[in-house]
Structure 1
């Protein structure tokens, strides 16, 4: 295995996680020299990691200005959530017919794990368990192409899906919506599962306003590049 390729994959995952958790905010510059120093590597795997992230849309490669965390306008963001909702609806419809008994048991276990995090009010832990819950539904569709497309867009929306869970009352609402999804899949009701997942994922009206407010608060709470350099 090529050492640089393997290292680049590790760096991509680490940078992607920093973007998803808000450590790197939309528009933040990604300096190759600084990242190489931070991760104690050469610039070659850093450059490859940034190119990988650019291919997924998480990073913008700007001519003569280097790389930066991609910024999404409100219109683009809502369009992406609309597509995500349809992909998840398709996954749920297929999963309700195709999941094995073992896969249904695993989905129920993931749902119960989310309940524990919800009860603790732990939004970050709930987010990771929630992600696993959705990934099980993608896999349960038994359509590899559909699963790949859902995973790719889900990764792109990670920072924003995570932010939603920090909105007051959203953990409880999310868990209740999961319950409707689980019930439909276990009962083999494909159309009901699709409708429940579509409603769970799409961001419209009040939910969109809440997401925009959370995003504005998140960005305002992050240090400027100058402040980060001084810390």
Structure 2
């Protein structure tokens, strides 16, 4: 069991490292990711690399093709916008239901997660902020007490994870994100479902200058015409 857990952690770490290189353009769209070369470069066996690539394929960052292996996927700007648009609506639904159904223990956990985000913001640590931000959002999904909705929101959140994480590196975004979180917490604790839905939708969807900033930070994006 312990060996399996170590292997799982190693695969997750590998996935994070490869994901970072894809999103920052080190591994550009269309590049073939050779398991042997990756294992050698990272100083690990092929097993965690293979598992990491399968995880990245499920997140849409990699395509596993017959006889070619793993290829870095391309994603167009329009497709990315569509995914954020759907994510915003799923999270809005979670927020609306959470405002009605959240338990006292879940309220305490949400407030604690919000405070943890504050500490990361104050430390100006976008990666730590993202990890705590991720927990904040997943707590809202769970507080909806709709398991199917929670599963769908979590799956799309995982698909958008690299883009949401990089977005936090845009100037002042952490501070703005934290302020938006405060409004979301306030609405949920006040049991105002419509306000919670409105605030979380605005928090998640990317449009206007925010979308332009996100696109500018993503050299791995493919052609804008791709869908």
Distance 2:119 2:46 in 1: 42
Which range moved further: 129-138 or 24-33?
Answer: 24-33
> Who is 1:18 aligned against?
17
1:54 aligns with 2:53: no
> Who is 1:75 aligned against?
78
User: Contact (CA 8 Å) 2:15, 2:55: kept in 1 or not?
Assistant: no
Q: Which of 180, 185, 188 does residue 188 from structure 2 map onto?
A: 185
Deviation at 1:6, TM superposition (A): 7.1
User: Following superposition of structure 1 onto structure 2, how do residues 18-167 of structure 1 map, counting pairs within 5 Å?
Assistant: 18-20=17-19, 22-25=20-23, 27=29, 28-37=31-40, 38=42, 40-42=44-46, 46-167=49-170
CA deviation profile, 1:199-231 (whole Å, cap 9, x unmatched): 000011111001011223x89xxxxxxxxxxxx
SS at match of 1:215: coil
User: Contact (CA 8 Å) 1:8, 1:48: kept in 2 or not?
Assistant: no
User: Contact (CA 8 Å) 2:14, 2:49: kept in 1 or not?
Assistant: no
> Who is 1:223 aligned against?
none
Deviation at 1:175, TM superposition (A): 0.7
Which range moved further: 185-194 or 57-66?
Answer: 57-66
Task: Give ranges in structure 1 of 5+ residues lacking alignment.
Answer: 220-231
Instruction: Evaluate the alpha carbon distance shift between residue 204 and residue 68 of structure 1 in structure 2; reply closer, same or farther with a 3 A threshold.
Output: same
Distance 2:120 2:52 in 1: 32
Distance 2:51 2:175 in 1: 40
Distance 2:37 2:18 in 1: 16
The structure with the largest helix share of the pair is: 1
Distance 1:159 1:82 in 2: 16
Given the two structures, how large is their TM-score scaled by the length of structure 1?
Answer: 0.83
Distance 2:73 2:12 in 1: 16
Q: How many residues align?
A: 214
SS at match of 2:217: helix
Given the two structures, how large is their TM-score scaled by the length of structure 2?
Answer: 0.84
Task: Give ranges in structure 2 of 5+ residues lacking alignment.
Answer: 222-227
Deviation at 1:145, TM superposition (A): 1.0
